[in-house]
Structure 1
């Protein structure tokens, strides 16, 4: 019997000398993936910084023009009177002519128009960034949103003017009234920034019930408050990476289309029945929030096919938890459908419809509540801008009412953005649920003709 040589029994490779070809490929793939993720993160940071600067610049410039116009009012006969309240420029031509003769309300209106333009410029800048990054999917999405916004401006320019005529003797307007409006708007901006709303659910009833202004004026001014809340709060939210820009850009397709539809329908029929329907839907939608009021972060969420294709999943730094929180996105198509309904409500009632946006992202798409509220804040400005041109062309944005509202909401939104960084998702949910109930009740009462809203 021949004994086999031990050498013949040895494995082809020593124990510590296995082939390195496959591990090298794996390491290369991992390194390439990390480099790609780092590149995407850097590009997203650049986009966030650019958007933050645009929003900040728009807010500062518009506020400066509004303050200049308000400061000029005492130098002119009439001051802050009810008669002057109704005498304001209602077309771009009238604004330009008023600027040439240093008319105070022309400066205020220019500031308001710059505030309206800020979200549109933000979308245009995002398009440029996506083109630079060769992100073809978001180039198409952003170009679509921008086209809808531009289309809405043309609709507004061709819309017939629908001036509101009121008896100046029945409306009391003075410096004291303007200061009270400013104070109420500051509170509206604070709450709106915290829970992702536009402040309209507070501004509209304040202007109609407390101060007796006509509903068309209240809704037109409320659109301005929505944009002010969005632009003021989003400056900090975008810079601190709390906002998901990709989700916001994608969902803005639904909100802008809905806003145009709502503003157009509002000029054709009374939205009373829709107010009741939407209020009931809002109450039903709020029910899931009650059952998960103690939830800090959603659990067990897995990206759907849309979320994977559009790279919607992300992370944000949670200062309250002291760590980076990663999250995924689900049921994206249902979220988009809900956004159309939210935009429709905004265009019809001028209330921002941030409640629907937050509910859609929180309960349907299962985002962390902080991401839902901050992304809603970014979106509501674009939604409002889509219908603002129509309300401007109808003469429903009086500068003397809109000025204290815009300034108050801006200050409140900036304060709210600072507070949110140090609040938990649980606390935000506790604040958000009563706001939803109030909003739903307001819409139902308005639809039934019981409230003055």
Structure 2
């Protein structure tokens, strides 16, 4: 099964990257090139994409096709996992994975009913060129590397980079952030699953809660005040990270035993640690509480349009007492599915311009691959030292966004 997951991730990532790169290479030879006008004028429906590709091989339509392929990659990964569990005759996880796939497909169907926001009418304040595109690509590499290391989606850096540095509209930045989450998850998961660091069973089980939470958040988004929620969750995130301070010196959790649910689902695992040169075995505890936290993380993702990987890593590391490497890689494994559940509405609203999301996706994919290689040679302590300032930045970003300051 692991080989099948790796294969579908590799094919999805490579195919989408080639299509995005092809479209970006063709764009300079079309009228407008990399101008602000071209940035905000692009195909927003499947019919428009197909029409532009079939009539004159439109570069932005090609890029959009690559982005759509990237978004569907996590969905295909769940489907391949279902087939793998069926071949293994693992009835428990056949049921669990079927439910995840059903919830994911339902959420994609529901969010696709969103109304399009339309094109940006005022483009005079926008500054977009090949140089800006190159700088965004470079910044995305850094975001992808960091996201792959600590199990986040890269949006913590992408959103402020696009809005504060380049002055792009916030809805474009959030749309690109969703793409960055999926790209980080798909790109890094290739190495993490292949090297058997990700706990696939645990990730699939917890995706039951994250996908359900994402659907719930989408429904609640119109009823609750996002600004207030952003402040509350930012404060909670900051407070929740405090226990990590007391675990900075911990390399491997000690005296952890499987709870009943973890034993019943056979969630315990092991991974080859290249840094120490030995195989690390671990157990899973407080599984019901972890499942509840994943639902909350999914709700946050649906409400605020973020990957919520921070909450996932905190739950896995501090509540369920997994090694930090397993927490980071398993969170990374899940965030792509959570983001894919809400990506449809961003496409339908016209919030994902190809000329912006394209270089972000390519940069994130490259950074995620580099980060995945680097993680295998780092200690769990070093990962926590990287994770803490990122958590502080994410919490600050959420609070400022809620207060209407900065983001």
TM-score range normalised by the length of the shorter chain: over 0.9
Runs of 4+ in 1 over 6 A off after TM superposition: none
What residue number does 1:169 align with? 124
Q: Which of the residues 48, 69, 75 maps onto 1:114?
A: 69
Contact residue 5 and residue 77 of structure 2 kept, 8 A: yes
RMSD over aligned Cα atoms:
1.2
What aligned pairs does 1:425-436 form with structure 2 within 5 A after superposition? 425-436=380-391
Q: Do 1:304 and 1:332's aligned partners in 2 also have CA atoms closer than 8 Å?
A: yes
Contact 1:263 1:390 (8 Å CA) reproduced: no
Paired residue for 1:90?
44
1:383 lines up with 2:338 in the alignment: yes
Q: State the match for 1:76 in structure 2.
A: 30
The answer to whether the 8 A contact 1:204-1:351 is kept is no
- 5+ residue gaps in structure 1? 1-46
Deviation of 1:447 after TM superposition, in Å, equals: 0.6
In structure 1, the residue matched to 2:248 is: 293
Which residue does the alignment assign to 1:60?
14
> Is 1:257 equivalent to 2:212 in the alignment?
yes
Shift of 1:164: 5.1
Distance in 2 separating the partners of 1:380 and 1:449: 26
1:376 and 1:267 mapped to 2: Cα distance?
Answer: 27
* Residue number in structure 2 paired with 1:337: 292
Aligned length: 406
Paired residue secondary structure (1:165): coil
Separation in structure 1 between the aligned mates of residue 309 and residue 275 of structure 2, nearest angstrom? 24
Counterpart Cα distance in 1 of 2:149 and 2:263: 29
> Cα deviations across residues 284-325 of structure 1 (Å, max 9, x unaligned)?
110100011111011110100110111100100011111111
Mapped to 2, the partners of 1:49 and 1:266 lie a distance apart of 38
In structure 1, the residue matched to 2:231 is 276
Superposed CA deviations along residues 417-447 of structure 1, whole A, max 9, x for unmatched, are 0001110001001111111111111101111
TM-score calculated relative to the size of structure 1: 0.88
Match of 2:150 among 166, 185, 195: 195
Asked if 2 retains the 8 angstrom alpha-carbon contact of 1:221 and 1:401, the reply is yes
Report the CA distance between 1:348 and its aligned residue: 2.7
Answer yes or no: is the 8 Å Cα contact 2:41–2:119 preserved in 1: no
Q: Is the 8 A contact 1:157 1:389 kept in 2?
A: yes
TM-score, reference length from structure 2: 0.98
Residues 179, 266 of structure 1: alpha-carbon distance in 2 compared, 3 angstrom cutoff: farther
Match of 1:179 among 119, 129, 134: 134
Offset at 1:350? 2.9
Match of 1:322 in 2: 277
Q: Residue 263 of structure 1: CA displacement?
A: 3.6
Q: Distance in 2 between matches of 1:159 and 1:172?
A: 29
Residues in 2 aligned to 1:166 and 1:219: alpha-carbon distance in whole angstroms: 18
Bigger mean CA deviation after superposition, 363-372 or 149-158:
149-158
Give 1:264 deviation, angstroms.
Answer: 4.1
Which of structures 1 and 2 has the bigger CA Rg? 1
TM-superposed CA distance for 1:166, in Å, is 4.2
Aligned to 1:30: none
The answer as to whether partners of 2:155 and 2:180 remain within 8 angstroms in 1 is yes
**Cα separation, 1, equivalents of 2:217 and 2:118:** 19
| Greater relative CO, 1 or 2 (CA 8 Å, sep 6+) | 2
What CA distance in whole angstroms lies between the structure 1 residues aligned with 2:224 and 2:193? 38
